[in-house]
Amino acid sequence: MHLRPQLLDGRVTSRASQQAGAGACFFPFAVAGAASASQGFWSAMANFKGHALPGSFFLMFGLWWSVKYPLKYLSRRVKTNCRPSLFYQRLELIEGLIKIICSLIGILAEQFVPDGPHMRLVNGEDHSWVKLMNWQHSTMYLFFGLSGILDVLTYFPLNIPVGMDRLSMALALFAEGFLFYFHVHNRPELDQHIHTLLLIAIFGGAFIIFLEVFIRDHVVLELFCTSLLILQGTWFWQIGFVLFPPSGGPEWKQTDHNNIMFITMCFCWHYLIALIVTAINYYLVYCFVKRRRWNNSEMNVEIRKLNSDKDAKAALLAGSEEE
């Protein structure tokens, strides 16, 4: 549906902003809002990518966790014949390596986009700060990279205390939340509110993972944290589409309370979708593990049947020789 908003002092009227908000809740289907006309193409895209890139990383890891944790839990319950400890240790190693690679990609992207700081923190001419928003995102990626390094080190026999991998991940999420808390001071009201909602997912995930330092392999905590990570990924994308849309459309009115109410409701919808995705993946993994167990059971039955046939033949041969 094409909106023709009525502009009032460079802003969209309340009714038009509500319509725009309703169309932009789920980013894959619609885009709402537009960047200021004075923004250049690369500036808008850099800000949008600054939210889309971490959103993609968190969404990827959240979806992976929604498969890994149910597989680990259900495999322990059915007591499969494989070696789960070694298998999952290797998975953790691969996950740590991917985490390091994603962090490096994020840092390089934040630093070396066309309008990025290019590793300059202070402008030598007027001694002003250079692109601190990019530097904050880079710092966030740095902490997650350190968490990935610790994940890799725990795979090797270095006598690293149990739980350090979870602690490093919790600290990375806490650092992310701490940075974003001061990310939006003195920003417009809607901008502050949409980032504040993001803090719920960030600090919630940090707290749950911190509990996992002391409560290991608790599937409820793991799935809860998984849903929050998926929520964080989708909400990063939502922020990008609301504040820095990549294509044209009406601008969100930052001071309209109806927009704030809608964004809050939209956040609940995002989390509901995250819970549904987590539940669906859990069920799919359950079906996979159950089918695998059934196949193994059938194979064991066939093996026992063959062994019994061999024993019967051996007994008959022994009896015929005695006669």
Q: 127-186: per-residue pLDDT in tens?
A: 899 988 889 889 999 999 999 999 999 888 888 898 999 999 999 999 999 998 988 888
Three-class SS of residue 11?
strand
The pLDDT of residue 38 is 33
Q: Average pLDDT, whole number, for the chain?
A: 80
The pLDDT of residue 212 is 95
Q: Are strands 11-12 and 7-8 parallel, antiparallel or unpaired?
A: antiparallel
Three-class SS of residue 8?
strand
Check: CB of residue 250 under 8 Å from CB of residue 244: no
pTM of this prediction exceeds 0.85: no
CA distances from 140 to 41, 67, 110, 200, 266 (A): 25, 25, 11, 17, 25
Residue 315 has pLDDT above 70, yes or no: no
Angle CA(91)–CA(93)–CA(96) in degrees, nearest 5?
Answer: 110
Residue 27 has pLDDT above 70, yes or no: no
Where along the chain do its domains lie? 41-244+273-294
CA distances from 11 to 16, 58, 185 (A): 10, 33, 22
Half-sphere exposure for 124 (CA within 13 Å, toward CB)? 2
Residue 3: name the closest of 34, 37, 41 by CA.
Answer: 34
Using the structure block, give the residue that is written with the tokens 């994940």.
151
